Structure 1
Amino acid sequence: MSWQAELDELAAREAMARAMGGPEKVKRQHDGGRLTVRERIDGLLDDGSFHEVGAIAGKAAYGPDGRLAEFTPSNCVMGRGLVEGRPVVVVGDDFTVRGGSADATIRDKPIMAERMAGELRLPLIRVIEGSGGGGSVKTIETTGRANLPGGVGGTWLYHHTGDNLSRVPVVGLGLGSVAGLGAARLAATHYSVMTKEMSAMFVAGPPVVNALGSQKYTKQELGGWEIQCKAGAIDHAVDTEADAFAAARRFLSYLPSSVFELAERQPCTDDPARVEDSWLSAIPRDIRKPYRARPLLDSIFDAGSVFEMGRLYGRSVITAFARLNGLPVAVIAGDPMFYAGSWTADACAKIIRFVDLADTFHMPVVHLMDCPGFMIGLEAEQRATIRWGVRAMAAINQSSMPWCTVILRNAFGVAGAIHQPAGRYSIRYAWPSARWGSLPLEGGIEAAYRADIEAAADPAAKLAEIEARLQLLRSPLRTAEAFWAEEIIDPRQTRRLLVEFAGYAEKLRGAGQLGRGLRP
């Protein structure tokens, strides 16, 4: 006796599931310039590698004869697949079924995806479009009661959404309108991407917000990519969904599959001892002139390896992954094009999150230091910049990964003091262009030497005389003479020394989960 009849029924149900919300809803998705969830998964994963779990889960209706008459699949599609040959877990919202709302899904499916990633120690990719919360407003009527967020005894989805951040790489792709719990799941990631024209993210969408206030917003005005990337809620925005898939794949290429492994060194064709004469003149002698930090990063690290995150947020600081002779490292660099590189409250928050990310996945840190101090002024005080600054200090001091700092230009004040972890050894170099102190001389001489300047026959000449005298004393060579700074180096040796650091760091990395959890 054969079980072919049952297998035929299984195939028929799988075909219904692959039809998603039906031809009209699929067409509407395409007409809106968006792919379906299944097309997204196929574009994200290696060809033919998707192994779906729970394909035929959904809501069914049966005829009088007990046979299946209707079937609406769950609007959550999940399973395992490969990215560049490495196993991952992917879970995606199907917007063609009830607009991705949770009242059209089966709650155990996204929970299982989260558990699968955490317990099999596999990277997790969330493809998000919809609300994904407790249901729509109509759910109150269909269930006959209001949903209490969190339920009784807690909710496993909320638990795993945060817990996985401490165990496996988590990527979120916002590829349409994302609200409520969907927005929370997109933000609760190590790396998040949204498409510029087709996606938006918000706690509550325009219909709710517009009903509560006098000003009316469109989706883009309320939660478009420029809003969310500048606010730091989203790390990156791209033009197309294909670009989002490529960004996710590249992000994962720098990380291990879980905290219980170490990221692998990749083959490198770039000369570890490569020298660029341009580094010698990269920092202008005129301290009022900024310079572009990104071309400098691109030239120091392995060619084509710099992968920046959060470019539009906390813009006085650059955070990126890169490679040194093939070894992945986490990079922090000052960007003097914004606030001369001063650390704002947003920049400090950016540093905290990035340092915690590096520590969680055992990545050595390279800090190309250029910070004249914390941002000052009324707005800085209103933003509690010093509070965020000492939090950044705590994150850096608590980090356990090998750390190498190269002071390119400025290192002043409390912010200047936290360019490396305190209380443990780290490697540090300084370029001849480096300048440091408790406070910059500029603007402080007039206050400190006011009496001398006012008593002089020529106050302007006296000011210039004092400034010239102090500038000589401020030379980094004077500091190194007293061994208050370890090494002043020829900038052209920077790459060779950083590659050497990467070699030391590779042996010091240890796998395992940190005692403290990672917060989004």
Structure 2
Amino acid sequence: MSWQKSIEELRRRERLAEKMGGEEPVSRQRGRGKLTVRERVAFLADPGSFHEIGKIAGNATYGADDELEHFTPSNSVMGRAQLNGKSTVILADDFTVRGGAADASIWQKMVQAIKMAAEYRLPLVQMIDGTGGGGSVKMLEKDPRTYIPETPGWNEITHGLTQVPFVSLALGPCAGMGAGRVAASHFSVMVKELSQVFVAGPPVAIALGEDVTKEEMGGWKIQGQNGTVDNVVNSEAEAFETARRFLSYLPASVHELPEREQPNDTPDRREESLISIVPTDGKTPYKPRKIVEATVDKGSFFEIGHDWGRGIVCGFARLDGYPVGILAGDPFFLDGAWTADVCDKVARHMDLCSQFHLPVVHFVDCPGFAVGVKAETAGVTRAGVRAMTAIYQADVPVCSVVIRKAYGLAGSAMMNQSRTKWRYCWPSGDWGSLPMAGGIEAAFRKELAEAEDPDALKAQLYKKFDAIRSPFRTAESFYAEEIIDPRDTRPLLVDFIHHAWRTLEPGERRIGFRP
């Protein structure tokens, strides 16, 4: 007497689950250039490491003899796996079963995955490919009533975001709840031409009078440039690798510190190119990513949010093997001025680094908040104050390297300046409450108007104030702590990270009100 027959039935049901939505839907999925949910899990996870939970959950029908006649698996696949040797929870949508509609996913599986991630302190990776919500209006024929909307699991999502890294990969059309899950993450990725993210799809927009396609309404050119998603990639394989790399910089949960990797670079490396990378005219832009890459461990810079808030470069990197957050002003975009979207990007990145205990290196080049009607219409004042507050609420060490401009309120937000100023200034530094250019004409308007030779007086005034704004004069009063040879930047940052690491403490983050 044994349970062999039951085990055989279990294996039969598992084989049925592996068929997903059936031959035709699977063929359509592949015909769209998309992997199936089980192929995605296999590509994302370390080989042979995925342990599925709830595989035989789904919709079953039974005949008169109570034998299973038909089985459609849930369109939600979940379980535990290893990613780069680290335990992770995976939650993946199956578009071949009713287009990934939420009412076919068995919502308890999603909630179970999120609870497991938070309670057992494991990162969560979601592969989202679904129409969300309650599916088609046709479902009302089967269950002829409507309901007051409720979103099971949102409390668990809200809590989980405070505990462990959430990564969302948009791998198809993501609407309603699917779109919400993409946005409710610490890091999100879209695949060009393959995925779209929107509150509701084109049929709803058309009914409201806007005739658009999925790509026109929620494609990567929109969502990658407005910050709804962080990164845009060219293929599903690249999305999987991007997720793995993002997680490599973070601890499994806020209750741990990030791990140091074996250094692959010399700590005292001095890059000769840094002595001339910033043009001496004070106006011509330079490429900040070259400065970042020259000072962090070789090959370690991982950019986040390339396509939005382009006045600031954000990402992760390593210094002598230790993970750090990176901010760098980009003078190619409005001279690096902080627009509303730049401010949102700064606040989001500082929150991310602070929550997961990554010290921050800020390469400063900021002429202030963006000025003008367009900037004010976009809400730069409120966004700017929120960004400044996020920086002052951060509880991780920040090292600022002032590359060039630092003006006004935004220029002051290079760090929490009420704390120890671990700061280095390049000789190209240019700072103050407002830029000299234009300020001299405004301050000496009367004198210039009355002068016999206004141009000569203006040249004389510019020469005088150019001398006054020398960074050496600032250093004389200890308003600039150290002016350094740019080539010494990497050795000094390596020194910073060793000291910063001594101050880090794991645990949940508690912040106050943010205006």
Match of 1:370 among 365, 369, 381: 365
- SS for the counterpart of 1:480 is helix
Letter in 1 for 2:122: L
In the other structure, the counterpart of 1:11 is 11
In the other structure, the counterpart of 1:397 is 392
Indicate whether 1:162 and 2:158 are aligned.
yes
Q: Cα offset for 1:417?
A: 1.1
Letter in 1 for 2:191: T
Aligned residue runs from structure 1 range 72-151, under 5 A: 72-150=72-150
Letter in 1 for 2:407: F
Q: Cα offset for 1:262?
A: 0.8
In the other structure, the counterpart of 1:174 is 170
Letter in 2 for 1:143: D
Indicate whether 1:292 and 2:287 are aligned.
yes
In the other structure, the counterpart of 1:493 is 488
RMSD between superposed Cα atoms in Å: 1.2
Verify the 8 A CA contact 1:261 1:511 in the aligned structure 2.
yes
- SS for the counterpart of 2:224 is helix
Aligned residue runs from structure 1 range 359-438, under 5 A: 359-438=354-433
Q: Cα offset for 1:80?
A: 0.4
In the alignment, the residues of structure 1 paired with residue 224 and residue 132 of structure 2 have an alpha-carbon distance, to the nearest angstrom, of 22
Indicate whether 1:208 and 2:204 are aligned.
yes
TM-score by length of 2: 0.98
Letter in 1 for 2:270: V
- SS for the counterpart of 2:362 is strand
Unaligned runs of 5+ in 2: none
- SS for the counterpart of 1:379 is helix
In the alignment, the residues of structure 1 paired with residue 112 and residue 310 of structure 2 have an alpha-carbon distance, to the nearest angstrom, of 38
- SS for the counterpart of 1:128 is strand
Q: Cα offset for 1:461?
A: 0.8
Q: Cα offset for 1:135?
A: 3.2
In the alignment, the residues of structure 2 paired with residue 18 and residue 491 of structure 1 have an alpha-carbon distance, to the nearest angstrom, of 58
Indicate whether 1:198 and 2:194 are aligned.
yes
In the other structure, the counterpart of 1:455 is 450
In the alignment, the residues of structure 1 paired with residue 343 and residue 136 of structure 2 have an alpha-carbon distance, to the nearest angstrom, of 37
Q: Deviations over 1:435-467 (max 9, x none)?
A: 101100101111110111122211011101001
Q: Deviations over 1:314-373 (max 9, x none)?
A: 000010100000000001000000000000000000010100000100000110000000
Q: Cα offset for 1:259?
A: 0.4
Q: Which piece of structure 1 moves more, 23-32 or 141-150?
A: 141-150
- SS for the counterpart of 2:27 is helix
Q: Cα offset for 1:418?
A: 1.0
In the other structure, the counterpart of 2:333 is 338
Verify the 8 A CA contact 2:88 2:125 in the aligned structure 1.
yes
Q: Cα offset for 1:517?
A: 9.5
Match of 1:307 among 285, 291, 302: 302
Verify the 8 A CA contact 1:352 1:392 in the aligned structure 2.
yes
Q: Cα offset for 1:518?
A: 12
- SS for the counterpart of 1:216 is coil
Indicate whether 1:23 and 2:45 are aligned.
no
- SS for the counterpart of 1:17 is helix
- SS for the counterpart of 2:437 is coil
Verify the 8 A CA contact 1:36 1:94 in the aligned structure 2.
yes
Q: Deviations over 1:13-72 (max 9, x none)?
A: 000000000111100000010001110000000001110000000111111111111111
In the alignment, the residues of structure 1 paired with residue 393 and residue 197 of structure 2 have an alpha-carbon distance, to the nearest angstrom, of 33
Relative to structure 1, is the Cα distance of residues 178 and 335 closer, same or farther in structure 2, using a 3 angstrom cutoff? same
Question: How many residue pairs get matched?
Answer: 514
Q: Which piece of structure 1 moves more, 421-430 or 196-205?
A: 421-430
Indicate whether 1:503 and 2:485 are aligned.
no
Letter in 1 for 2:23: P
Verify the 8 A CA contact 2:399 2:423 in the aligned structure 1.
yes
Relative to structure 1, is the Cα distance of residues 18 and 407 closer, same or farther in structure 2, using a 3 angstrom cutoff? same
In the alignment, the residues of structure 2 paired with residue 518 and residue 92 of structure 1 have an alpha-carbon distance, to the nearest angstrom, of 35
Q: Which piece of structure 1 moves more, 442-451 or 133-142?
A: 133-142
In the alignment, the residues of structure 2 paired with residue 60 and residue 287 of structure 1 have an alpha-carbon distance, to the nearest angstrom, of 70
- SS for the counterpart of 1:508 is coil
Q: Deviations over 1:148-202 (max 9, x none)?
A: 212xxxx541112222111001100000111001000001111101110111110
- SS for the counterpart of 1:166 is coil
In the other structure, the counterpart of 1:476 is 471
Letter in 2 for 1:186: V
In the other structure, the counterpart of 1:35 is 35
In the other structure, the counterpart of 1:240 is 235
In the alignment, the residues of structure 2 paired with residue 105 and residue 182 of structure 1 have an alpha-carbon distance, to the nearest angstrom, of 12
TM-score by length of 1: 0.97
Verify the 8 A CA contact 2:189 2:231 in the aligned structure 1.
yes
Verify the 8 A CA contact 1:431 1:490 in the aligned structure 2.
yes
In the alignment, the residues of structure 2 paired with residue 262 and residue 517 of structure 1 have an alpha-carbon distance, to the nearest angstrom, of 23
Letter in 2 for 1:435: D
Verify the 8 A CA contact 1:369 1:408 in the aligned structure 2.
yes
Q: Deviations over 1:86-117 (max 9, x none)?
A: 00000011100000001212110111011111
- SS for the counterpart of 1:328 is strand
